[in-house]
Amino acid sequence: MTEIEYFKPERGQRPGANEDPRLDWWRAAKFGMFIHWGVYSIPAGVWKGEHIPGIGEWIMLRAEIPIAEYEQLAPQFNPVKYDADQIVKLAKAAGQKYIVLTSKHHDGFCLYGSAETDYNIVDGTPFGRDVLGELADACAREGIKLGLYYSQTQDWHHPNGFGNTWDFNEDEQDFADYIENYVKPQVREILTNYGPICIIWFDTPRIIERHQSQELLDLVHSIQPDCLVCGRLGNKLGDYATAQDNAIPPELQAEIDWETPATINDTWGFKTHDHNWKSTTQLIQNLVDIVSKGGNYLLNIGPDAEGAIPEPSIERLQAMGVWLDVNGESIYGTQPGPIQGAAAYRTTQTSETVYLHVFDWPADGRIALSGLDASSATWLDASREAALSISEQGGQLVIQGPVEAPNEHVTVIRLGR
Ligand code: FHN
């Protein structure tokens, strides 16, 4: 089993290609922003003075924090720096075409005003503002699509949710009741009260049964028929496949629609001690790699307890946007290209053009590739003046460019057919 197959939904397959038009915008979009945010951003990886290993949003489980103690974070949650417009503008500057916010993560805390529980940002915190509502308004103003993460199986706060073995006795829990009388009403809320939602991003299906996944899928589509459901709904249901976190499949996945959710450092929810930021070059190469294999890249930010976005995330996203401003033509709306798997090269294409992405510019400026046919080679970056020539030599397409790397991250050459 390759990693991509793990959450592969039956519905997300596309024999013969791209048949469900509801996914057209998503297939063209390629790049989205994930936002993991909640009260876990207050401890930020540290509980009672101890660094808790692992991803920040899992601190409640990793440290087995009793609900009665963890709940005390909500009255401290006052993220006065939260600025939905800033987030949406950052996503746009980065070239991200959709945003997916955690409406409820495994810890059960809701980032929206829910009638189903007071354990939410509006009723349970001094902040009292509907974070999701403000983001939905900002997305509508800026014309960017909004999706919502919702943890359908794990809920460490709800007495019948899955995963909290330190407060509850699993044998006494009624998971079916939780799905029926909590998850479904909440899914209804988030799909009814915040305008068009482009994706419901379910996660960690674990014990959810086939009929429950099916019912959630049907529920989503009954309220918003165009809303996509990711493959982590479980039981091979959903509208598209979800790769493992940060996993890029080794080869082209032509027969499915798929997405890689990914972190910029090593955590989703904010952690004070995680400074392992991926470089901008690495992030751009990941984007290109994923797109060249037919996937989408959903790249996360984890705001801190005040609602501020970590500066290293901002810097990297803005730099990705600068690269995409010049090279976006080779990303958005493209298909995987003819060359797959060559170490330093990736390709994407449209009907007219092949885009050659060069990760490591050769020291002599000479690129020789088999399996490519082209009538012209031009820089995607119109400001670049260095000469670029093509010729056919011994059955290979030879491209001769300058010896200096034209772009510090990934150089793109447009090859006319
Ligand atoms: O357990 C979650 C994790 O906290 C995070 O939300 C990621 C994002 O893809 N999904 C689960 C782990 O795969």
Residue 223 CB neighbours (<10 A)? 15
1 part of a folded domain: no
Inside any domain, residue 119: yes
Q: What is the domain extent for residue 350? A: 337-416
Same domain? For 116 and 40 the reply is yes
Q: Name the closest-CA residue to atom 13, ligand 1.
A: 245
**pLDDT surpassing 50 at residue 379:** yes
For ligand 1, whether the C-beta of 268 sits within 6 Å is yes
pLDDT at residue 13, as a whole number: 53
190 and 151 in contact (C-beta within 8 Å)?
A: no
Q: Are residues 254 and 399 in the same domain?
A: no
- What percent of the chain has a predicted confidence (pLDDT) above 90? 90
What kind and span of H or E run contains 86?
helix 84-94
Is the CB of residue 215 below 6 angstroms from any atom belonging to ligand 1? Answer: no
Does residue 16 register a pLDDT over 90? no
Side chain identity at residue 107, one-letter code: D
Ligand 1 midpoint to CA 212 (Å): 20
Q: Is the pLDDT of residue 239 over 70?
A: yes
- Cα 314 to Cα 301: distance, rounded to the nearest angstrom: 9
Q: b/e for 367-404, b at 16 or more Cβ within 10 A?
A: bebeebebeebebbbeebeeebebeeeeeebebebeee
φ, ψ of residue 138 to 5 degrees: the values are -65, -40
Residue 2's pLDDT is 41
Kindly tell me if the per-residue pLDDT of 4 is higher than 70: no
Residues 318 and 393 in one domain: no
Residue 236 in domain: yes
pLDDT range class, residue 342, cuts 50, 70, 90? confident
Q: Are 280 and 299 members of one domain?
A: yes
Our answer on whether the CB atom of 289 is closer than 6 Å to any ligand 1 atom is: no
For the chain, percent of residues with pLDDT exceeding 70: 96
State pTM to two decimals: 0.97
| Domain endpoint, select from 310, 330, 350 | 330
In a domain, 379, yes or no: yes
Domain end residue (candidates: 300, 330, 360): 330
Q: Is the pLDDT of residue 416 over 70?
A: yes
Look at residues 285, 299, 291 and name the one whose alpha carbon lies nearest to residue 359: 285
Mean pLDDT, residues 112-138: 98
Same domain, 260 and 390: no
CATH code of 390's domain: 2.60.40.1180
Ligand 1 nearest-atom number relative to CA 34: 8
Residue 400 sits in the same domain as residue 286: no
Same domain, yes or no, for 247 and 361? no
Q: Which atom of ligand 1 is nearest to the CA of 245?
A: 9
Asked if 358 and 241 sit in the same domain, the reply is no
Q: 203 in ligand 1 pocket by Cβ < 6 Å?
A: yes
Low-confidence winner among 140-144, 215-219, 246-250, 260-264 (lowest mean pLDDT): 246-250
The pLDDT, as a whole number, for residue 9 is 65
pLDDT number for residue 254: 83
> Does 152 map to a domain?
yes
Query: Poorest-confidence range of 202-211, 213-222, 224-233, 245-254?
Result: 245-254
Q: Are residues 283 and 409 in the same domain?
A: no
pLDDT value at position 11? 54
Please check whether residue 4 is in contact with residue 234, taking contact to mean a CB–CB distance below 8 angstroms.
no
Are residues 164 and 123 both part of a single domain? yes
CA dihedral 350, 353, 357, 358 (to 10 degrees): 160
Q: How far apart are CA 328 and CA 332, in angstroms?
A: 6
The per-residue pLDDT of the chain, averaged, comes to 95
Both 326 and 350 in one domain: the answer is no
Q: What is the mean pLDDT of residues 64-78?
A: 98
Domain count, the chain: 2
* The token pair that represents 182 in the structure block: 């909590």
Look up the CATH number of the domain holding residue 151. 3.20.20.80
Over residues 286-304, mean pLDDT: 97
324 and 341 co-located in one domain = no
Structure tokens that stand for 372 in this block: 């490519």
Mean pLDDT value of segment 370-391: 92
Q: 379, 393 in Cβ contact below 8 A?
A: no
Distance between CA atoms of residues 117 and 323, nearest Å: 43
Distance spanning both ends of the chain, measured CA to CA: 36
At residue 244 the predicted structure's pLDDT band, cuts being 50, 70 and 90, is very high
Among 315, 330, 345, the domain-final residue is 330
CB 280 within 8 A of CB 332: no
Answer yes or no: are the C-beta atoms of 53 and 63 closer than 8 Å: no
Q: Are 202 and 150 in contact (CB under 8 A)?
A: yes
Give tens-digit pLDDT for 135-172. Answer: 999 999 999 999 999 999 999 999 999 999 999 999 99
pLDDT band at 7 (very low <50, low <70, confident <90, very high): low
Rounded-to-integer distance, Cα 313 and Cα 329, Å: 24
Substitution site in 104, 204, 248, 267 for ligand 1 pocket (most atoms within 8 Å of beta carbon): 204
Pocket test for ligand 1, best of 3, 7, 245 (most atoms within 8 A of CB): 245
Pocket test for ligand 1, best of 203, 298, 299 (most atoms within 8 A of CB): 203
